[in-house]
Every structure is written in C-alpha cells, then in structure tokens.
Structure 1
Amino acid sequence: MDRHGVGVTEKLEARLCELLGHEAAVFMPSGKAAQNIALKIWSQRRQCNRIAIHPRSHIEEWEAKAYSELFGLHSTKLGAYDRQATLGDLKGIQEPLGAAVIELALRPLGCVTIPLDELRDMADYARSKNIPLHADAARIWEAQPGYGCSLAELAAPFDTLYVSLYKVLRGFAGGALLGPADFIAEARIWQHRLGQKLYRQFPYALAALQGLELMLPRVPALFERACLLAERIAEVEGVVRVNPQKPCTPSFQVIFEASAEEMLKARDLVAEARGIWLFDLPLSSPYQGLTLFEVHIGTSALGMTPDVIIDAIRQFSLELKR
C-alpha cells in the first residue's frame, strides 16, 4: 500500500539515495516544483533572493519565470548563451547569491556537460563563498557514462540536486529532490504546500523503480551508439554540423541549411519510405538559414544497424535538396 508517499515511494527514495550518495530524497510528480522548492529554501536560508542560472537553462527558458512569479526570486546570468558555465563565470558574479544552479546536461546546446574536474572546482569555490550549489540533474543517468565515474561521484559536488524519473528511465512522470536530511525535511513542507504529495503515488514510484532496474543498465550502450552515429552522421553530405561533435549523453543535434517547413516535409517522406521517425519537431537556430533537430538514442536505435539509420539521414538530406 502507498498512501501520501508511505510505502513504495519510500523504497524509491531510499534507492535514489543509495545510487547518488546523498542523505535524503523526496519524490515529487513535478520537477519544476521540486527545483523551485530547492531554490526557495536555499534563498531563504541565505536571506538572499538572487540565484545564478544559465541563460539557456530549463528553469530560465521553459518554466515561465516561475522562480520569479511564484517564489519572488531574481536571476543573474551564469555562463554565456552559446556554451556551458565555467568556474570563471561563477567567480565573475559580484552580487550576493542565494544559490547557484548548474544544468548538468544543457539540452539547448546539445546536452553538453561540464568536465568533472571543473565541476569540483566550481563546488569548492561555491562552498568557500558559502553559496549553495544546486544541480538540475534531470539527465544525470544519461550523462554518467560520458563522465566515466559513478553516479555518486557525479552527484557529490552538489549540495542538492533534482533528477528526472521519466526520461531515459521511462517512468510515468515526476522526479526527486536529493540533499541533506534537514533540507529534504523542509522540502517536504513545501511539497505539501504546492500539492506535490499525491494520495497514491505508487504507479509513479513503481515505474521509476523498474526504470532504475531495467533501463539504467542500458544507458552505456545508448551512449556508445550515440557516439558512433554522431561521427557517421557528421560525414553525410548536406549535414552542416553535429553538435556537440562528440556527444556527452545519448543525445545530440544535427544541423542543416534548410527551413523548418523543408525539414518537416523531408522527415515525413523518410518516415513514409523507410518507417523511421527521425525527429518530432525541428528547432530554430540563432543563425539565419540553419535549422536543427535533436537525436535522442533509445532502445529502438539499438535494434537497428547503424547503416539503416545513416541511410535514412542520407535520404533526408537528399530530400532537402529537391
């Protein structure tokens, strides 16, 4: 039985602590709520309502300024628009901060990551200034093989972190917030205030536990396939660039000189001819005339030979020229 997070949800939270090496965890059905709760608590503790976030972070671009509109926080830019944050960026912030946020794999830039040594240096600097360091680690599962360290080692630099339980793990929804026991106890109060404590959570918790058991061990193979495909796709005529050139996760971007309308038409023609759905929607580029789509390697890609996928990309490129 699982009522108000007692039962299966507790098993999930304990498993997450075991994997990620943090003291406590709390499941929430909304990652947006979990992260904003973390930022609110840190800011209250520091008595400072300014947070440092990357200008292309999910918190900044996709959450309708919830940190400001709902929680009364203000932001300072951490990093440049076209690259991940660095230690220099963090040191360059002169304003007092309630917290600093690192998005572990920055999706708008092709899920690029920060080298582990630099992450540790950023954490050391933040602690020297008494600045809490929070991680949007939604994609920590996907990023870990590229780092070549354990999940706990990757999570260690951060005072708190949010992880997703539905992306590569294929859970139904939701995520978890991890950190010190006293911090998570306070987060549970905000969880209740924001309606994040469901009466029955066991379907979400069971799906997440299954993902940790069945999908997590397959992520290294997804990463290896992404690296192989990125290298080969970059050689296809008509491809402007694969970004990043060496994937940091099982995801990357493919850039073409084409309009969004042309990309959609070519996508549908490839799907009809080959039964391969290359992407959902094209994404605009900062550069006029260039459009991109994201590649997210899943288990279906492991069931196809690389040649089949490369041939589909070649046809896609040819369709763009017609």
Structure 2
Amino acid sequence: MVKTLLEAFNTAEYPVVGHGKRNVQVLKDTFDHLDGEIDSDIYGTGTVIEDFQTKIAAYLGKPSAVFFPSGTMAQQIALRLWCEEKGSRKVAYHPLCHLEIHEQDGLKELHHIEPVLLSDKDRLITLDDVKSMEDGIACLLLELPQREIGGQLPAFEELEAIAAYCRARDIRLHLDGARLYEILPYYGKTAAEVCSLFDSVYVSFYKGIGGIAGAILAGGEEFTKQSKIWKRRHGGDLISLYPYILNADQAFDERLPKMEQYYRSAVELAGLYNSGIEGVTTRPLVPVSNMFHVHAAFPKETFETILIAVYEETGIGLTGNVRDAGDGASYYEVSLGDRYPAIPKDRLKQAFELLHEKVKQTAK
C-alpha cells in the first residue's frame, strides 16, 4: 500500500516542523502539576481567566484584554467595534488576510462590513498603499508577519510611519498578531513596543505558543468592555474556558523564551533549502521569524513523491502538506518549534543531499 505524504510524515523518525503531536497528552501534561481544587472560570469571570487576561494585557502593553475561544471571533468583533465607533462599515486589509480567505465571509455576512483590499496579493502593504486608501476607512488591519506570502515583514520604520499616518487621520489600526511572539527576535523589540503602534491587538495561543486553542483581544478599557458584549452575542462565553486558559498559560511561560531559538533554526533550515537544490527555494529567502514557505518548480503530486522517498530513506519528515501553487508548481509552509533541535545534524544533512539528488533526477 502506497503511503500518503501525511502518513509518511507522521511515521518519520524525525518530523521537522512544530512542537509535537496535537493529542490528549498535551492537555494531560497541563493538569498533571495543578491543584485539582482550583476553581474554574464561569461565563468569563473568575480568578483563572481574569488573572490570565491581566498578565497578557501587561505583556502587550495594553490597559485591558479579553480571552476568546478563537481568533476568528476576536478579530471580527474588533473590526465591528471600530466600525461602530467611526460610523463607517469599511475596513482595509491585505488581499490574503485571514478574514478574507479563511472565514467564509463572516465579516461580511455577520457584520455587514465592507473590506477594502490593499496592495497586490504577493507583496506587503506599504505606506504608499495606505496613503492611497479611499475615504471613510474605519480601521486598517495589519498582519505581522504576513503568513500567506511566507511570513514577510515590513521594516519597523515603515510600520511606525503607517501608524503615524493612521493616527493623524483618526483611522484605527488593528494588529493581527497571531504570530506576534515569533517576530520579536527579528525586530529586536518587546511585544509592548510593537503593540504601542496599534489601537487593538489579537494574539493566538496555539501557533508558536503551541497551546490547544484560544486567543486574546487587547486594547483600551472601553474597547474590551464592548468586546465582551459581542463575545456573548457570538456564543463565545462558554460556561468554562479553563482547559484552554491553563494550557495557554503554561505554554506561554514555557515557549516564549524559545522564540529566538525557533527563529535562528528557521534561518538555518532555509539555508539548507537554498543550497542549490534545482527549482526549490524559500520565501522569504532569509526568514524573519520561525516560519517560511518552500516553493518547488514541480507539480504537487511530483513533489510529494520526492518527499515521501526522502522520508522513507532518511527518517526526516519535512512537511505533511504540499499545496498546489498553479502553473505546475507547488509549495508548503514550514513553522519550527521544539522538534527541530532534537534532529541529528548529520541526518538532516543526509536528507537534503537526498532531496537534491531526487529533484535533480526528476528535473532531467
């Protein structure tokens, strides 16, 4: 029986990406060291949730924060609130923003908000794009890093200029910071320094942090007060969210100090991909966080066949998911975490040598 790419990846001795398997053990490990008498949160109140919200608000440098079960819910609500404040239903963001391509038009269908798409889909939003926005924009959303184009980042000076422009024109600025922690080593800034440029901020707890789920929406006191009302309207006030919160808190403390390591690992790994393998390159060429995209000048099925052979011969699993990029090309996303440092360097080198060889054979 021929293995699929995902099956080959899951049975590889050394999977390269991520922190580990997302299984029940992740939650069991969280509760193993906790006092079973800790009270749960109840409908958004209680020490468990309130202390965590205060902790993350302080980390982000914002007056207040609210825990949400999902970033999708948090960000739609954030944009809704800014639109209501400004009396406009227009928000601006990148054509490949999560709200535009991954949420089944929730912003439009649930909130009747009109997105204005800035820049070309294959590049970052620039100050010039912002200056050319049409009138009546209530809020501009910036995603740092821009995931769908490989996790690219604007220069921090460009970010400051965009923030200053928006403030001068009373346009709210919202940060999609799903991967905020991961970019801080590159910028050499604290989370609070980055977030000071934004009126509201969303961060995730299941990406680089590696929690099971959950998000924080942070901003001013009145903003978060109103967000709680909309959280209830969206059905986000579960009777208890403590499994997500306690796990997020543990993962935050454990993995936040490792973000520099994850970033340096990504730079190292991208160097192996860019070491002369014909038709294979990374985007960006040098990563600015722990993530990047690998692009190949081969159809999806062809590249999967090459990768499966590499996994089976070396035990190194590079990815479990290759996507069609059109025009006979393909790509996949790499996001590094706790797994990467455990991979023997000689085995990793062997895998890339074999990848080089098999790509060369295929290209003939």
Could you tell me the TM-score, scaled by structure 2's length? 0.85
Show structure 2 runs of 5+ residues with no match. Answer: 1-38
Equivalence for 1:279: 319
- The reply on whether 1:206 has 2:246 as its aligned counterpart is yes
Q: Secondary structure at the match of 2:286?
A: coil
Structure 2 matches for 1:216-227, cutoff 5 A?
216-227=256-267
Equivalence for 1:34: 74
Alpha-carbon separation, structure 2, partners of 1:110 and 1:176: 24
Question: Of 201, 206, 226, which residue of structure 2 is paired with 1:161?
Answer: 201
Equivalence for 1:52: 92
Count of aligned pairs between the two proteins: 321
Shift of 1:143: 1.0
- The reply on whether 1:120 has 2:160 as its aligned counterpart is yes
Q: Secondary structure at the match of 1:235?
A: coil
- The reply on whether 1:290 has 2:329 as its aligned counterpart is yes
Query: What CA deviation, in whole Å up to 9, does each residue of 1:160-195 have, x standing for no partner?
Result: 011001111111101010000100000000000001
Equivalence for 2:288: 248
| Contact in 2 for aligned 1:140/1:163 (Cα 8 Å) | yes
Query: What CA deviation, in whole Å up to 9, does each residue of 1:69-110 have, x standing for no partner?
Result: 111001111222111111110001122111110011111111
| Contact in 1 for aligned 2:272/2:352 (Cα 8 Å) | no
Alpha-carbon separation, structure 2, partners of 1:14 and 1:313: 45
Equivalence for 2:8: none
| Contact in 1 for aligned 2:214/2:245 (Cα 8 Å) | no
Alpha-carbon separation, structure 2, partners of 1:317 and 1:289: 19
1:239–1:307 distance in 2 versus 1, CA, 3 Å: farther
Structure 2 matches for 1:58-137, cutoff 5 A?
58-137=98-177
Alpha-carbon separation, structure 1, partners of 2:353 and 2:331: 15
Equivalence for 2:43: 4
Could you tell me the TM-score, scaled by structure 1's length? 0.96
Q: Secondary structure at the match of 1:158?
A: coil
Alpha-carbon separation, structure 1, partners of 2:229 and 2:156: 33
Alpha-carbon separation, structure 2, partners of 1:307 and 1:236: 18
Give 2:158's aligned amino acid. Answer: E
Shift of 1:37: 0.1
Alpha-carbon separation, structure 2, partners of 1:15 and 1:290: 45
- The reply on whether 1:309 has 2:358 as its aligned counterpart is no
Query: What CA deviation, in whole Å up to 9, does each residue of 1:187-244 have, x standing for no partner?
Result: 0000000011111111111111111110111111010111122123201422432110
Equivalence for 2:12: none
Query: What CA deviation, in whole Å up to 9, does each residue of 1:244-287 have, x standing for no partner?
Result: 0111111111221111111222222222222222112112325x
Give 1:44's aligned amino acid. Answer: E
Q: Could you say what the CA RMSD is over the residues aligned between the two structures, in angstroms? A: 1.4
Equivalence for 2:357: 318
Runs of 4+ residues deviating >4 angstroms: none
| Contact in 1 for aligned 2:64/2:218 (Cα 8 Å) | yes
Alpha-carbon separation, structure 2, partners of 1:185 and 1:124: 26
| % identical equivalent positions | 31
Show structure 1 runs of 5+ residues with no match. Answer: none
- The reply on whether 1:194 has 2:234 as its aligned counterpart is yes
- The reply on whether 1:299 has 2:352 as its aligned counterpart is no
| Contact in 1 for aligned 2:314/2:347 (Cα 8 Å) | no
Alpha-carbon separation, structure 2, partners of 1:95 and 1:84: 21
| Contact in 1 for aligned 2:81/2:227 (Cα 8 Å) | yes
Equivalence for 2:278: 238
Give 1:301's aligned amino acid. Answer: Y
Q: Secondary structure at the match of 1:319?
A: helix
1:146–1:231 distance in 2 versus 1, CA, 3 Å: same
Equivalence for 1:266: 306
| Contact in 2 for aligned 1:101/1:135 (Cα 8 Å) | yes
Query: What CA deviation, in whole Å up to 9, does each residue of 1:134-171 have, x standing for no partner?
Result: 01110001111111111111111010011001111111
Q: Which has the higher contact order (CA 8 A, sep 6+)?
A: 2
Equivalence for 2:35: none
Alpha-carbon separation, structure 2, partners of 1:229 and 1:256: 16
Alpha-carbon separation, structure 2, partners of 1:281 and 1:300: 17
Give 2:42's aligned amino acid. Answer: R
Query: What CA deviation, in whole Å up to 9, does each residue of 1:41-86 have, x standing for no partner?
Result: 1001111001101001111111111111111001111222111111
Give 2:331's aligned amino acid. Answer: L
